[in-house]
Amino acid sequence: MARTADRSNKKSAKAISDNGDSPMKHHPYHGMVATLATMHRKEIAVAPPFKELVGLHVISAADIDTDALGTFSGDIPRIGSMGEVATRKARLGMTAANTRIGLASEGTFGPHPAIPFITAGMELLKLVDDDRGIEISESLVTPDIVFQKAILRPGEDLTSFLASCRFPSHGLIARPNAPGVSTPIIKDILTRDDLDNAIAMLARQSDDGRVVLSNDMRAHRNPTRMRSLDKLAIKLAQRVASLCPACGSPGFGKSGQIDGLPCMDCGSPTRSPMLDKFGCVACGCSETRTRADGKTRENPMYCDYCNP
């Protein structure tokens, strides 16, 4: 199954690169190498779209410790915004592999910004180019995450919890609920035997005899998160592929919206977006475009005048 997918990816990449008329060949990054800073095999998701859409070869840096900049499990806290951490991480990889272009991603999860009572995953992917002095980012908010957590004692029935965790396709991590002096976290729990051993061991180290189990959110242990990174990598590669009409820099793309879509009934401006703003990360030039969905009027139910 995996092999078939891999082969068809290679075929389509080859078909594009064999096409002499491909605009990709004129892209400033065509044939260049970028380093992706990852300890968790994110290159599986990130490398293919950059190769197909830009002709940029993404390699992963060996021997770097991205965990030093903070971990998902919280045993090492992150310092700074997601964007700042992503930049530091990209530079770690660029230094290690001696490339002028680097990539890094950061992920977190919390309350969905638009939908109440839903937990969402938030992913940021950034390209840093030290030759041009630019950074190009894209982000993704998705309700499609697999993150479950439970506090339990040895011997408890785990059937429904493990099903909701999608274990063993998705990995688990475990720690004592009430740790004494140190807080050991066991990661890479991939089999039922690993899990039973971890629960037995950590229960003995927990003052209340209970253990906290949760999904491992690292990309290589959470295929749902890897799929989100895949979508985000396509989004960023498309943006990097797009060149500024004024200065030719990579990364021309949507930078915001202008609100005020007129009401269908009374014509007053609503709070819905009317135009998309596009901008360049290098020269700062920008332009407005009509909405990608072609919508030019808003439903009166969103109008403060018709439906206050």
Closest distance between Zn ion and the C-beta of residue 132, in Å? 10
Q: Kindly list the distances between the CA atom of residue 287 and the CA atoms of 180, 203, 246, 255, 257, in Å, as whole numbers in the listed order.
A: 58, 60, 11, 10, 11
Closer CB to Zn ion, 228 or 249, in the complex: 249
Closer CB to Zn ion, 212 or 280, in the complex: 280
Closest distance between Zn ion and the C-beta of residue 241, in Å? 15
Closest distance between Zn ion and the C-beta of residue 265, in Å? 5
- DSSP per residue, 102-159: EEEEEEEEEE-SSSTT-EEEEEEEEEEETTTTEEEEEEEEES-----EEEE-TT---H
Closer CB to Zn ion, 73 or 299, in the complex: 299
Closer CB to Zn ion, 50 or 252, in the complex: 252
**Gyration radius of the chain over CA positions:** 23
* Angle made by CA atoms 193, 179, 66, in degrees to the nearest 5: 75
Using CB under 5 A as the criterion, which residues of the chain lie in contact with Zn ion when the complex forms?
A: 244, 246-247, 249, 263, 265-266, 280, 282-283, 300, 303, 305-306
Closest distance between Zn ion and the C-beta of residue 243, in Å? 8
Closer CB to Zn ion, 165 or 303, in the complex: 303
CA 116 – CA 119 distance, rounded (Å): 9
Q: Kindly list the distances between the CA atom of residue 122 and the CA atoms of 109, 116, 301, in Å, as whole numbers in the listed order.
A: 6, 15, 30
Closest distance between Zn ion and the C-beta of residue 286, in Å? 9
CA 101 – CA 35 distance, rounded (Å): 7
